Chain A
């Protein structure tokens, strides 16, 4: 199976001198094509930093990051930007939509950056917004959308260039239960289509929806659990008529 994300001996330190902190401490990781990986841990455990390192938003202090067989931690800013355009889709807790662009324009933005024609960008944005159920809201500004709707727009935006991997940082952190379910449903569809996903979360529900769960503490992986294909069938046994 193709490995999409590969990380070797990854270290990231923040701060200087005495206040130097190892946010990520010698992490090794491989994410095969089509896997949904959840990274869980208490706040400050370094999980967001790990995600930033994977997406090239930060540079590692040490170690290597490979994306689809290409080493990316040594790339220039410019090359990294190009890489993000085509290969990575980001989803953030705070949505991070461009406030002055409508939902559709936000989704079009990465496509335009990647050099798509206006027509093509519009078509893709239309398709994706339909998919996340926001066709009717395409022309609304983010400020006119609910949190859940904004996050769906952000997911659509992350998908517009058909990225190799979608990196989601606490995607449901600001959402209520119903909106969380909407997002999980979209992730479930993506999983079914074989989209590689890395989700950083402290929400057990989101973590449990993944194929694999890595637990992080103090910058290190402390547990790596395969969740997929281990159905226990316990649900059906929950209810009996006796008693």
Chain B
């Protein structure tokens, strides 16, 4: 019990003394776990939203679609409705293929479903604003209406006729916008299409007046909703071509828009975790001397190595777990928005699954343990007396580096020697830079992918929502990665500056100018960044090729090299500030402090 009190007291005292570092650890872990948890929970949330929409709109278990119309089709579909597994049905109803134009002259393909003014037992679209269809008025599907920027009371032109929008509704009977068409005219492929409802007579009038393509659909409710596949197999329709869309298929279709979101978030989560590890490791390394001394003190007053390790680890673990919890909360709150980029689904995200929570927790613990393992082990192993008198660990001699640096100008020489002194830091910096470049390459790649707009004739008046979503997520993830990398670079530079201050002060007494000293410190960071930036480009392309479509376009080489160069320049700029601050310290003070 006493040792628990001691551990808690020591941990709290340390957190109070290093607030900024504690906050950084917390935020880094939160960002990484949020991204990761979001990526992992997208499917579940998307399914949950579909499920909730389905429940609210009496969504059909199976939609039978025929690319044609006429008595044969009606007969074949009606026969299906009489099947013993069917407990309820809606239709057959007409689907008219037309163009819709808003008053802002945005045009899009649209399918018009001809519905009764009183909805039936199956496929009862949920009106979210306005009212249900009546003659002369149309109801727009919410995802479509949102993309068009149209609300109740606006007028839209469908196939040349003007209709007032009397309501906005959602349905689980079709895929989300822009995949409302499900099949094209005659059963062929479909374009990006929105959904509108009209009364049966209006739909009929529209189709016949303009001689528009029409298909037929039938919504079915099964006794056992799970047996959609069995139903399809049990009822082969031979007379006409009928396509069956099960509710499972539609739920699956909802994920199409998230196809890239998942890898962006999951891979982004890994990269963020990686940066969090490097950043926290840099912090931990910077405090290693202090921690080792503290461990020595604890041992001197009789603490066991186990207790010492507990104190050191508890702090990081507690902060990482708090960060993990924060990240999960963020993921939980943002998941419905991210998982449903269109407004076609309603409902709230279900709670995070146990697997997601477990993964996020493991991630947080891994960040804490991986980044503090070395200092903790060192603190445990170092003999008590050595720990108490430790100032910095002894450098190792690297003759080849010495020989190499002898050929360089003075700032480079100082920088290279500093790099050589801390190979671990150099690796961290290289990894940090490589990760940043990977993210930027991915961002560039996403931006150069060709994409079709959702408007009429692939017009980009209606933006490609999936592309938008991908770009937004990529931009967010990249920004987070860059932010962490920036913090890492500053932390690393500052740590090195603090550790090298004695040497830098000596160099000053020997006549090195502050400029040379800060250039040396910057160089110490830039040198490992260089291979990091160079490696980042092929690594980024490699990572992309794992997830991107076969016809994906690589961004131009000049862009990627430019990105690598810009990263290096940014690193140089970032290191300049702490390096300059460190170089400005009074030489006399530094030297007397080192006595």
Q: Check A187 for interface membership: any CB of B closer than 8 A.
A: no
Count contacts on A: residues with CB < 8 A to the other chain: 37
Interface string of A60-91 (1 = CB under 8 A from B): 00000000000000000110011111101010
In the bound complex, how far is the Cα of B591 from the Cα of A58, in angstroms?
Answer: 12
Q: How far is the CB of A109 from chain B (nearest CB, A)?
A: 6
In the bound complex, how far is the Cα of B407 from the Cα of A93, in angstroms?
Answer: 31
Q: Please determine whether A77 and B514 come into contact, CB atoms closer than 8 angstroms.
A: yes
Q: Check A55 for interface membership: any CB of B closer than 8 A.
A: yes
Interface string of A78-116 (1 = CB under 8 A from B): 100111111010101110111111100100011011100
Residue ID in chain B nearest A154 by CB atoms? B506
In the bound complex, how far is the Cα of B590 from the Cα of A96, in angstroms?
Answer: 11
In the bound complex, how far is the Cα of B410 from the Cα of A112, in angstroms?
Answer: 7
Q: How far is the CB of A108 from chain B (nearest CB, A)?
A: 8
Q: Please determine whether A113 and B421 come into contact, CB atoms closer than 8 angstroms.
A: no
Chief secondary structure at chain B's binding surface: helix
Q: Check B238 for interface membership: any CB of A closer than 8 A.
A: no
Q: Check B402 for interface membership: any CB of A closer than 8 A.
A: yes
Q: Please determine whether A96 and B506 come into contact, CB atoms closer than 8 angstroms.
A: yes
Query: Using a CB-CB cutoff of 8 Å, which residues 507-552 of chain B contact chain A?
Result: 507-516
Which residue of A48, A97, A161 is within 8 Å of B592 (Cβ)? A48
Q: Check B333 for interface membership: any CB of A closer than 8 A.
A: no
Q: Please determine whether A143 and B510 come into contact, CB atoms closer than 8 angstroms.
A: no
Residue ID in chain B nearest A53 by CB atoms? B588
Q: Please determine whether B512 and A81 come into contact, CB atoms closer than 8 angstroms.
A: yes
Q: Please determine whether A98 and B509 come into contact, CB atoms closer than 8 angstroms.
A: no
Q: Please determine whether B503 and A78 come into contact, CB atoms closer than 8 angstroms.
A: no
Query: How many residue pairs at the A-B interface have CB separations less than 8 Å?
Result: 92
Q: Please determine whether B586 and A58 come into contact, CB atoms closer than 8 angstroms.
A: yes
Q: Check A57 for interface membership: any CB of B closer than 8 A.
A: yes
In the bound complex, how far is the Cα of B506 from the Cα of A127, in angstroms?
Answer: 22
Q: How far is the CB of B575 from chain A (nearest CB, A)?
A: 20
Interface string of B484-509 (1 = CB under 8 A from A): 00000000000000000011011111
Q: Please determine whether B515 and A78 come into contact, CB atoms closer than 8 angstroms.
A: yes
Q: Please determine whether B511 and A84 come into contact, CB atoms closer than 8 angstroms.
A: yes
In the bound complex, how far is the Cα of B210 from the Cα of A132, in angstroms?
Answer: 106
- Scoring A49, A98, A105 by chain B CB atoms within 10 A of each residue's CB, the highest score goes to A98
Q: Please determine whether A81 and B514 come into contact, CB atoms closer than 8 angstroms.
A: yes
Contacts of A105 in B (CB 8 A): 402, 406
Q: Please determine whether A100 and B513 come into contact, CB atoms closer than 8 angstroms.
A: no
Q: Check A118 for interface membership: any CB of B closer than 8 A.
A: yes
Q: Check B233 for interface membership: any CB of A closer than 8 A.
A: no
Residue ID in chain B nearest A122 by CB atoms? B406
Q: Please determine whether A81 and B410 come into contact, CB atoms closer than 8 angstroms.
A: no
Q: How far is the CB of B254 from chain A (nearest CB, A)?
A: 60
Q: Please determine whether A52 and B588 come into contact, CB atoms closer than 8 angstroms.
A: yes
Q: Check B420 for interface membership: any CB of A closer than 8 A.
A: yes
Contacts of B505 in A (CB 8 A): 96
Which residue of A83, A92, A100, A143 is within 8 Å of B591 (Cβ)? A92
Q: Check B594 for interface membership: any CB of A closer than 8 A.
A: yes
Q: Please determine whether A100 and B395 come into contact, CB atoms closer than 8 angstroms.
A: yes
In the bound complex, how far is the Cα of B586 from the Cα of A161, in angstroms?
Answer: 24
Q: How far is the CB of A10 from chain B (nearest CB, A)?
A: 15
Q: Check A141 for interface membership: any CB of B closer than 8 A.
A: yes
Hey, which bits of chain A sit against chain B, CB under 8 A? Answer: 48-49, 52, 55, 57-58, 77-78, 81-86, 88, 90, 92-94, 96-102, 105, 109-110, 112-114, 118, 141, 143, 157, 161
4 A-B pairs with the lowest CB-CB distances in the bound complex, closest first: A85-B511, A81-B513, A100-B395, A84-B511
What are 30 of the A-B contact pairs (CB < 8 Å)? A57-B587, A57-B588, A81-B514, A81-B516, A85-B512, A90-B509, A92-B509, A93-B595, A94-B591, A96-B591, A96-B594, A98-B503, A98-B507, A99-B395, A99-B503, A100-B397, A100-B417, A100-B503, A102-B402, A105-B402, A109-B507, A110-B510, A110-B511, A113-B410, A113-B511, A113-B512, A114-B511, A143-B394, A157-B510, A161-B511
Q: A101-B402, A113-B512, A141-B395 are in contact. List 9 more A-B contacts (CB 8 A).
A: A57-B588, A57-B591, A78-B515, A81-B513, A81-B516, A92-B591, A102-B402, A113-B510, A157-B510
